[in-house]
Amino acid sequence: MFYDEGEKGYPFIFFQKTPSWLTSFFVGLLIAGGCGIFYVWYSTTSPDPAADSTVGLVYAVLGTILMVLAAIMFSLRRRARRRAVGQLHTALDWHICFGVAALAILFMHSFGNFNPRSGTYALYAMIALVISGVIGKLLDMLLPRMIAAEANKALTAQGEDRLQNITKQLESIVTHNTQPPRGFAFNSSANAAARTQGMPAPKADRPRSLVPLQDSWDLAYISLEETPQEVNLDAHQYRFVPDRKSALTAPGALIPGAKEQLSAMSEVQQALQREQCYRYIIRYWRIFHVALAFLTVALTVWHIEYALELVIPTLFHH
């Protein structure tokens, strides 16, 4: 049967070529590439390529617009009421496209001049933001796969809750091992007497002709007192209780098979904990990404304010 890579298995790293990814990739490439080419041409031909030259400012404005688009479009789309299936995914691809292109263009905007602090910090934040986005995407690919593996461990082959299964097995083991041993009735010596009386019974099976005449084994022919063994019956019980230092005091020591169940249970628990942990990572990374975005915006605003102070006077000069 033809193995369609799409239909089976769940690899850790995979890549899905969707139409929206392709479009957004090429558009991003186009924008950034176009600006890049112009950058190269301009820096070689112009006498003073600077961040606040016209070209630099154009780059700045373009970069900022792209950045704003990246920041807002996806969130708006997410909150939109009318939406087709798959539109949100497309919006995400464009978000990435705009974000990365914005970073490239803002880099070009600097024209190698990293002196102004505000600009540099804004750029750092932007870099961190984009990197966090990339890492986030990677996490979004790896972690769900890892979560699936942990969930897999927590489920039996039929899909039932494994903890529940282990519990049931444990409890059947416990039941089995705590059944009072047959034939032992600790609480009455009458029973003991009956038992001793019962002991000769097997001998009755032997062919009579070979059995010589026997005395009765009934103790009452001798005495009604308890034998020493009977007196110490309860004491025997204490001999079965291990003292504190013995390995037998560990829980489940006298219950064979429980150890395996216990270790299986702790394995499942660890799987559950790891599942939670991964989930938290996904959640908090997203929050982190958004926090970085806010930081970037703040720094960018600061830089824009600084830039305006420089640029507006020159504008008025004209």
Output 164 or 229, the one with its CB closest to another protein.
164
Task: Please tell me whether residue 183 binds another protein under the rule CB under 8 A.
Answer: no
Per CB under 8 A, 115 contacts another protein: no
73 interacts with another protein by CB under 8 A: no
Candidates 45, 54, 175, 216; binder of another protein (CB under 8 A) is 175
Q: Is 146 in the site for another protein (CB under 8 A)?
A: no
CA distance 93 to 126: 18
261 binds another protein (CB under 8 A): yes
Residue 291 touching another protein (CB under 8 A) = no
Considering only the stretches 1-9, 31-39, 111-119, 228-236, report the one whose residues sit in contact with another protein under the rule CB under 8 A.
1-9
> Which CB, 262 or 297, lies closer to another protein?
262
Residue 269 within binding range of another protein, rule CB under 8 A:
yes
Q: How far is the CB of 134 from another protein (least distance, A)?
A: 14
Closer Cβ to another protein, 67 or 147, answer by number: 147
Q: Is 253 in the site for another protein (CB under 8 A)?
A: yes
Q: Does residue 252 bind another protein (CB under 8 A)?
A: yes
Instruction: Choose which of 37, 89, 232, 291 interacts with another protein (CB under 8 A).
Output: 89
Residue 260 found at the interface with another protein (CB under 8 A):
no
Give the type of residue at 233. L
Per CB under 8 A, 182 contacts another protein? no
